Chain A
Amino acid sequence: MSTLEIKNLHKEYVDAYTGETVTAVGDVSFSVDRGEFVSILGPSGCGKTTVLNVVAGFDKLTSGSVEVGGKPVTAPSPERGVVFQSFALFPWKTVLGNVAFGLRMRGVPRREREPVARQYLELVGLEGFERKFPHELSGGMQQRLGVARVLANEPEVMLMDEPFASVDAQTRRKLQEDLTDIFQAKRPTVFFVTHDVDEAVFLSDRVVVLSSRPSTVAEIVTVPLERPRNWRSVLENPDFRHTVTHLTDLLAGGRAHGEEQAERLSGRVDSSSEPPVRADAGGES
């Protein structure tokens, strides 16, 4: 049974200035299984964040259905914790206070929530920073705290809204590797929104590609990569480049020579010896 089930999700809103009705999400259906990592990828403005906001319970859908654990989504719930691009940590709480926030909200007594909070801090590599305040941490550490804060609640599904978009490129790579490790260790169900093709492929089991507005599901691509994953080995994997190229073509409007280009690219991968160069070539295509 799938943990997250989205059927014919349709979302319209009325523009506050023009008064026009705008369709944010046309018709989107897909599901996420328990312990699965699924990314949603689409051109900017295609409504992928809107899909996440509906799943989180922040936005109401216009028609269709969204169910998590068999129950329809009506409002935000600790079963659907969100990791934000803006981190959204509580600056007046210490690192420990942030992680324990969800447990405290659910009425877990102090003595029980502290060991749990510490365990999750350790999971994301923040042990020793319990008494610090969020602004004293680097961007990467802040977002790891964001992940720990959600996971400490043991949600049905962790929702991530472009969580690494506001950190620098090197840190992003590191965070992506950390996230796959955490995923490997805890096997949470993850629904991940991104516009970064490499990131989607590196992290996910499956990638849902949306078309531009009014968005529909263009294709659901299964990523043929083994876990555990790290960038060093993934970049050398022809399957990775093949999938990235395919997704890039889908995003560009499904060009007919996509397959052909993928072949050519993977051919080049085999003959080349320097990973950074290959990464650049993939990024540009």
Chain B
Amino acid sequence: MTVSGATQRTRPAMGGFWWRRLGRSRVVRTFGPFVPVVLAWWAVAELEFFPAAFFVGPDVVVAEFAELIKKGILPAYLSDSVTRLWTGVVFGLLIGIPAGFLVAMSRWARRLTWPLLMFFQAIADIAWLPIVIVWFGFSLTAVTFVIVYTIVFPLMISIVAGVEQVPRDMVRAARSLGAGRFRVFTDVILPGALPAVATGIRTGLGYGWRALIAAEIIVGTSGIGFMMFDARRAGEVTGVFVGMIVLGILWFALDALVLAPFERSTIERWGMIQTAEVAR
């Protein structure tokens, strides 16, 4: 108590006024951390530690980025990748969320499926690719299968954990207020497990995104993963760099535009997740 109070009081003296004001700006907070990284990258490229065939600077990458957009390759590939991810995610959520709640709510479903869940969860998504290619060929179905597979298991497991964490008293309160089994599920279990569902979707999407790139590299006929692999084959490092950066930006956008606002308006609004005390 006293220790944290003391550090808080000394912080302004050390940081300075302008620094604190800068730190409050959203733009600075989002992009600030990238400034030293980009500068270091530039420096390493300019000083030519590595031959230009292996390592290119940000200026070259930006130029290539513009070029790829002008040629229409990047937008086309990007939309292919996003369509695949979207298809996979929609099916993944449609299967994973009900299956997760079914296993969580029914003792029998749990007993029957838990060992299977553990077993199949352990087989890496990409390990399915060889057999999936045999079954579905180099098609959207093959890629979707892998994404759905990666999303479903972490989602189910986190939903089961989430349902178990719904406080017993909350369920009892609902029952003693007149809620039957179904209403307990819809009005208590479902919203009560939402933090876990959100975590599950976040993890699932992250895995799905990675699986997609891996699948595109192997199955690829188009897409960001294919673009990167194709550039490597042609010996053009710049294309690989562009691909990596696009992946990062896309995840960033997904988080900032979809996941974070959803969490802010639900579980954070309801005070269901505590903001960490450690890194205040």
Using CB atoms and an 8 Å cutoff, list the residues of chain A in contact with chain B.
56-58, 75-78, 80-82, 84, 86, 88-92, 101-102, 105-106, 133-136, 149-150, 153, 159
Q: Please state if A135 and B172 are interface contacts (CB–CB under 8 Å).
A: no
State whether A56 and B174 are in contact (beta carbons under 8 Å apart), knowing that A91-B270, A133-B269, A135-B270 are contacts in the complex.
no
Give the chain B neighbours of A57 by CB distance below 8 A: 175-176
Nearest CB of chain B from residue A75's CB, rounded to whole Å: 8
Give the chain A neighbours of B167 by CB distance below 8 A: 86, 88
Tell which of B173, B179, B180, B192 touches A82, judged by Cβ atoms closer than 8 Å.
B173
Give the chain A neighbours of B180 by CB distance below 8 A: 105
Q: Please state if A101 and B177 are interface contacts (CB–CB under 8 Å).
A: yes
Q: Please state if B177 and A105 are interface contacts (CB–CB under 8 Å).
A: yes
Q: Provide 24 A-B residue pairs closer than 8 Å at the C-beta atoms, listed in order of the A residue.
A: A56-B172, A57-B175, A57-B176, A76-B172, A76-B175, A76-B176, A78-B177, A88-B167, A88-B169, A88-B170, A90-B174, A90-B187, A91-B270, A92-B194, A92-B272, A101-B187, A105-B180, A105-B183, A106-B178, A133-B269, A135-B270, A135-B271, A150-B176, A150-B177
Distance, CA A91 to CA B188, complexed state (A): 10
Q: Please state if A88 and B172 are interface contacts (CB–CB under 8 Å).
A: yes
Additional A-B contacts beyond A90-B188, A135-B271 (11; CB < 8 A) = A58-B175, A76-B176, A86-B167, A88-B169, A88-B170, A92-B194, A101-B187, A105-B183, A105-B187, A133-B270, A149-B177
Q: Please state if B176 and A56 are interface contacts (CB–CB under 8 Å).
A: yes
Number of interface residues of B (CB under 8 A): 23
Q: Please state if A90 and B191 are interface contacts (CB–CB under 8 Å).
A: yes
State whether A81 and B191 are in contact (beta carbons under 8 Å apart), knowing that A58-B172, A91-B270, A135-B270 are contacts in the complex.
no
Distance, CA A82 to CA B177, complexed state (A): 8
Q: Please state if B178 and A84 are interface contacts (CB–CB under 8 Å).
A: no
Nearest CB of chain A from residue B177's CB, rounded to whole Å: 4
Q: Please state if A82 and B194 are interface contacts (CB–CB under 8 Å).
A: no
Give the chain A neighbours of B183 by CB distance below 8 A: 105
Distance, CA A89 to CA B171, complexed state (A): 10
Distance, CA A82 to CA B188, complexed state (A): 16
The total of interchain contacts (Cβ-Cβ below 8 angstroms) comes to 76
Distance, CA A88 to CA B169, complexed state (A): 6
B121 within 8 A of A: no
Q: Please state if A81 and B177 are interface contacts (CB–CB under 8 Å).
A: yes
B266 within 8 A of A: yes
Distance, CA A149 to CA B176, complexed state (A): 11
Distance, CA A105 to CA B183, complexed state (A): 8
Distance, CA A81 to CA B174, complexed state (A): 9
Distance, CA A101 to CA B191, complexed state (A): 14
Q: Please state if A136 and B169 are interface contacts (CB–CB under 8 Å).
A: no
Nearest CB of chain A from residue B247's CB, rounded to whole Å: 34
Distance, CA A89 to CA B272, complexed state (A): 12
Give the chain B neighbours of A101 by CB distance below 8 A: 174, 177, 179, 187
Nearest CB of chain B from residue A110's CB, rounded to whole Å: 15
Q: Please state if B172 and A82 are interface contacts (CB–CB under 8 Å).
A: yes
Q: Please state if A84 and B173 are interface contacts (CB–CB under 8 Å).
A: yes
Q: Please state if A91 and B172 are interface contacts (CB–CB under 8 Å).
A: no
Distance, CA A133 to CA B170, complexed state (A): 16
Q: Please state if B173 and A88 are interface contacts (CB–CB under 8 Å).
A: yes
Q: Considering only CB atoms, which chain B residue lies closest to A102 in the complex? A: B177
Nearest CB of chain A from residue B67's CB, rounded to whole Å: 49
With most chain B CB atoms within 10 A of its CB, the pick from A57, A105, A133 is: A105
Nearest CB of chain A from residue B184's CB, rounded to whole Å: 10
Distance, CA A57 to CA B167, complexed state (A): 17
Binary flags per residue of B142-175, CB closer than 8 Å to A gives 1, else 0: 0000000000000000000000000101101111
Binary flags per residue of B175-202, CB closer than 8 Å to A gives 1, else 0: 1111110010001100110100000000
State whether A92 and B191 are in contact (beta carbons under 8 Å apart), knowing that A133-B271, A135-B270 are contacts in the complex.
yes
Nearest CB of chain B from residue A244's CB, rounded to whole Å: 30
Give the chain A neighbours of B191 by CB distance below 8 A: 90, 92
Distance, CA A149 to CA B169, complexed state (A): 14
Distance, CA A159 to CA B172, complexed state (A): 12
Tell which of A58, A75, A80, A90 touches B170, judged by Cβ atoms closer than 8 Å.
A90
